[in-house]
Structure 1
């Protein structure tokens, strides 16, 4: 089932990285809270902007050390207003939005009188509406004179749609809450996996900075004492420009499986960067990994 989704405006500047199969932006690891710029469409998503504040930024400081301690019981079923978007929100991540379309302004008026929570659900023209999404809780908002809203939301619990109960004036669905289950394999060391993933992330950032002509420097602590589950969500939130892969990670209910998939993705990206770095050493005039050979 496909629903209309707001357009996204991307920064016209070139991306900091242009990787295959993954684009991972080192700036996403900054910890400052983003401030929305004056927007003119439903949603502004200025990812990969140089020398400016990104409107979609996920930082380790956004992710609680202990995650889902106050989550609803996974057996609970509730109705939740939904906001279909061509992006994926992870638990703990920060998402700035601008509400412009009439039906979502109506939704905001309702939310401001209730619990400030709605479901962010990935939707695109090819795959349609996903079944699994993440609750976005409004932590800051500004209402403008023309009844638009600026929001800063934080990802909370994941959910699965069990039934669409209303489509007008905005989408409302009955949802069940999701939590990661213990890995079926007792010998899976999720903490060790998380450390491996962090190492790969550091190597990807280091090499991508080198290819971008930046001075190499030691990458700091990315995990910041996060437990494996919230860390796996944080890692998924940094996979910029790959929403379908992010959706697949969001839907997994096994922390070990999610970390393993992220490890393989980062490993493949690192192999690509290593090859690109070797080419750059041989042909120093090459400006980027994607530059055609002369």
Structure 2
């Protein structure tokens, strides 16, 4: 029912995190950019995330949630950091986050036995793709698959600098873990890679 309504209107809908019956107060608009109806009346969708919202009032909960919302935007930098200096801090943070992401990808590839060329490609990749710090911070959060609560926390932050700092810290922790795992792997090579002792 929701899909039929969606496809007859503007192809936009709200997405909110739900866990054990509780619904998060902040969500994101999803826009259907491609859809295909399957034979069993289900749909294959490709969606793109858009602006964020805060639920102000639930209108109904069945057959799907309908809510009144207020749009969310990141707050501007505090007074005294506006202008070039504040922007420079966000640029520096975004660059640091990108470097940490590249290192995580490189070491993950190494641990997973991918060729060194994959690590070199990851190090050379332009992960930011020309994105300004705010949209880049949302892109980084989207890569934290398997950690929906952390993604929700990042989505709810209304400060680009705070979001980038949290992502930097998460990536640093991941990098420390991967570096330690790599050292253990180097110190104790897998018995599968060496012939059995006779």
TM-score, with normalisation over the residues of structure 1? 0.59
Q: 2:69 matched to 1:169?
A: no
What is aligned with 2:183?
Answer: 278
Q: How far is 1:286 from its partner?
A: 7.2
What is aligned with 2:196?
Answer: none
Q: How far is 1:147 from its partner?
A: 2.5
1:267, 1:144 → 2: CA distance? 42
Unaligned runs of 5+ in 1: 1-105, 288-294
Bigger helix fraction? 2
Within-5 A mapping of 1:116-155:
116-125=11-20, 128-155=22-49
Relative contact order higher in (CA < 8 Å, ≥ 6 apart): 1
1:209, 1:269 → 2: CA distance? 14
Question: 1:273–1:119: structure 2 CA closer, same or farther, 3 Å change rule?
Answer: same
Count of paired positions: 181
Equivalent residue of 2:45, what SS? strand
What is aligned with 2:148?
Answer: 243
Question: 1:286–1:204: structure 2 CA closer, same or farther, 3 Å change rule?
Answer: farther
Contact 1:165 1:173 in 2 (8 A): yes
What is aligned with 1:108?
Answer: 3
Map Cα deviations across residues 131-170 of structure 1 (whole Å, 9 max, x no partner). 0000011111122344222211111110000000012222
Unaligned runs of 5+ in 2: 193-198
Map Cα deviations across residues 86-119 of structure 1 (whole Å, 9 max, x no partner). xxxxxxxxxxxxxxxxxxxx11111122111110
2:69, 2:77 → 1: CA distance? 24
TM-score, with normalisation over the residues of structure 2? 0.86
1:123, 1:262 → 2: CA distance? 22
Q: How far is 1:221 from its partner?
A: 1.2
Equivalent residue of 1:239, what SS? coil
